[in-house]
Chains A and B, each alone.
Chain A
């Protein structure tokens, strides 16, 4: 975090199909990717750029170069908070928020890129599948290591006293939701 990235890009790191695969997945929105002229409005607008290893502008150039491993291993795609600052302001009409979403999607499909991140998404969906609705506490306890949960017990107690959290899961029609989840995930795993 916050360190200047000096990794050298060598020809063997290039995947010539990366950009076209991404463009195809983005459909109409993908057609805008070649229009990026590296002005950096996205990076200047991004509220999380300060914490990223590559700024959004750099990611755009890396996409065009086809450096798949660097892009899908970057902290950028996971730090992107999906706030649309970049998409709203891009003078070339690139929907960079959607590009980031699709990069996350691609990374989640390949354990090589997302071992650490996948749990967040899988556990969220698991809570929804089991309960029909999401409850912050159920999700938090499922996701976090026990030590983190213990560290936050005092804080949690305060929230509980305020009535801000519920300890038991919030349930509704979980049988129907489970059917929908199974129907979609059974087909071609996570392919769109």
Chain B
């Protein structure tokens, strides 16, 4: 299996360990990733609100580069925001004549054309097909036995309705199924698709913190010892901002939050350091040790 890989901007900053762990896991599962050369910002929802044609053009630049990588090649991204934006742009470029015309002209300025033929996938989708789950289950060396995980999907990866959405928008199951294959125990989590607030943390900090607080409190209530997510922005809010939430509401959570690729990596026997587990604000190390995962110093 071979994919064009679009990491997204967060892969070089707050979501470095997501990028790292995805590449390692893909390699272990014999999925070949070829990074899209010279990829740039997908446009993101922020640009969509400001000017849809601009957002679609920024997406189209990247999709045009994918198209140039070879006929029929499909692209995978780890970022739920990019996934949503690229897919939305792609569908607009198929059906909206006004957007098509503006994008065509913008791409001409940089000598590119895009025929809207690229298929876009999320890493969660690619790693939870039946085929992928079968391969993973054959390669597991260290099952995550007894690890109680709140499967937190966030909204961008399952909620928007696309022509080829891969999971249920209200009660998605792909991450739950994966966690079971890894030997972990997904807890019934009422907030699995409830929004973390996204960029509200920058615009309205107190509102953002309250939204994160609720997600953490309900994960704890459900008996989770940790959370797993496929979204870098959700991870930023849940992990990086967790100390701020604890301070603001005088409530202690101490819930480690994993990128789901890190959990696959652990089960496949990859080392915690190479998976970037030392990068998290809330350290998962003592939790993992209590479950019998060896941590090398």
Same complex origin of A and B: yes
Task: Give residues in A with beta carbon < 8 Å to B.
Answer: 1, 27, 47-48, 50-51, 78-79, 81-85, 87-89, 101, 104-105, 108, 120-122, 124-125, 128, 132-137, 140, 143-144, 155, 158-159, 162-166, 170, 172-174, 176-177, 179-181, 183-185, 187, 190, 192
* B287 contacts partner chain A, Cβ-Cβ < 8 Å: no
A-chain residues with CB within 8 Å of residue B279 when the two chains form the complex: 162-164
Q: Quick check: B210 and A50 within 8 Å, CB to CB?
A: yes
Q: How large is the interface on B (under 10, 10 to 19, 20 to 34, 35 or more residues)?
A: 35 or more
B-chain residues with CB within 8 Å of residue A122 when the two chains form the complex: 50
Q: Quick check: B197 and A81 within 8 Å, CB to CB?
A: yes
With contact pairs A84-B169, A104-B49, A132-B41 given, residues A125 and B203 touching in the complex (Cβ less than 8 Å): no
Q: How many whole Å from A156's CB to the nearest CB in chain B?
A: 11
Determine the residue in chain A with the shortest Cβ distance to B102: A184
Q: Quick check: A121 and B49 within 8 Å, CB to CB?
A: yes
Q: Quick check: A177 and B61 within 8 Å, CB to CB?
A: yes
Q: How many whole Å from B130's CB to the nearest CB in chain A?
A: 25
With contact pairs A88-B170, A176-B110, A180-B110 given, residues A82 and B45 touching in the complex (Cβ less than 8 Å): yes
Q: Which of B38-66 contact A (CB under 8 A)?
A: 38-41, 44-54, 57-58, 61
Q: Quick check: B47 and A83 within 8 Å, CB to CB?
A: no
With contact pairs A128-B47, A180-B57, A192-B52 given, residues A133 and B14 touching in the complex (Cβ less than 8 Å): no
With contact pairs A124-B46, A162-B281 given, residues A48 and B207 touching in the complex (Cβ less than 8 Å): yes
Q: Quick check: B202 and A192 within 8 Å, CB to CB?
A: no
Among A50, A125, A187, A192, max chain B CB count under 10 A is at A125
Q: Quick check: B41 and A133 within 8 Å, CB to CB?
A: yes
Nearest 3 CB-CB pairings of A with B: A83-B195, A84-B159, A83-B155
Q: How many whole Å from B13's CB to the nearest CB in chain A?
A: 5
Q: Quick check: B204 and A79 within 8 Å, CB to CB?
A: yes
* B200 contacts partner chain A, Cβ-Cβ < 8 Å: yes
* B265 contacts partner chain A, Cβ-Cβ < 8 Å: no
Q: Quick check: A78 and B207 within 8 Å, CB to CB?
A: no
Q: Roughly how many angstroms separate A47 CA and B207 CA in the complex, as a whole number?
A: 10
Q: Roughly how many angstroms separate A75 CA and B234 CA in the complex, as a whole number?
A: 23
Q: Per a CB cutoff under 8 Å, which of A1, A105, A133 touches B9?
A: A133
* B270 contacts partner chain A, Cβ-Cβ < 8 Å: no
Q: Roughly how many angstroms separate A93 CA and B143 CA in the complex, as a whole number?
A: 43
Q: Roughly how many angstroms separate A64 CA and B161 CA in the complex, as a whole number?
A: 25
Q: How many whole Å from A187's CB to the nearest CB in chain B?
A: 7
Q: How many whole Å from B168's CB to the nearest CB in chain A?
A: 10
With contact pairs A83-B198, A180-B106, A180-B110 given, residues A108 and B50 touching in the complex (Cβ less than 8 Å): yes
Q: Quick check: B155 and A135 within 8 Å, CB to CB?
A: no
Among A27, A83, A124, A140, max chain B CB count under 10 A is at A83
Q: Quick check: A51 and B105 within 8 Å, CB to CB?
A: no
A-chain residues with CB within 8 Å of residue B1 when the two chains form the complex: none
Q: List 16 A-B contacts (CB under 8 A).
A: A47-B194, A47-B195, A47-B197, A81-B195, A85-B195, A89-B170, A134-B9, A136-B14, A137-B13, A144-B202, A159-B14, A164-B16, A173-B38, A174-B40, A177-B61, A180-B106
Q: Roughly how many angstroms separate A181 CA and B155 CA in the complex, as a whole number?
A: 28
Q: Quick check: A184 and B195 within 8 Å, CB to CB?
A: no
With contact pairs A51-B204, A133-B9, A170-B9 given, residues A187 and B102 touching in the complex (Cβ less than 8 Å): yes
Determine the residue in chain B with the shortest Cβ distance to A135: B13
Q: Per a CB cutoff under 8 Å, which of B49, B107, B110, B214 touches A105?
A: B49
Q: Quick check: B9 and A135 within 8 Å, CB to CB?
A: yes
Q: Roughly how many angstroms separate A87 CA and B105 CA in the complex, as a whole number?
A: 32
Determine the residue in chain B with the shortest Cβ distance to A148: B205
A-chain residues with CB within 8 Å of residue B39 when the two chains form the complex: 172
* B98 contacts partner chain A, Cβ-Cβ < 8 Å: yes
A-chain residues with CB within 8 Å of residue B41 when the two chains form the complex: 128, 132-134, 177
* B160 contacts partner chain A, Cβ-Cβ < 8 Å: yes
Q: Roughly how many angstroms separate A50 CA and B169 CA in the complex, as a whole number?
A: 23
A-chain residues with CB within 8 Å of residue B54 when the two chains form the complex: 125, 180-181, 184-185
Q: Quick check: B211 and A48 within 8 Å, CB to CB?
A: yes
Q: Which of B236-260 contact A (CB under 8 A)?
A: 236, 240, 244
Q: Roughly how many angstroms separate A48 CA and B39 CA in the complex, as a whole number?
A: 33
| Other A-B pairs beyond A181-B54, A183-B106, A184-B106, 17, CB < 8 Å | A27-B96, A47-B194, A79-B200, A82-B45, A84-B169, A85-B155, A121-B47, A133-B9, A135-B12, A136-B10, A155-B244, A166-B13, A170-B9, A172-B40, A177-B41, A179-B110, A185-B51
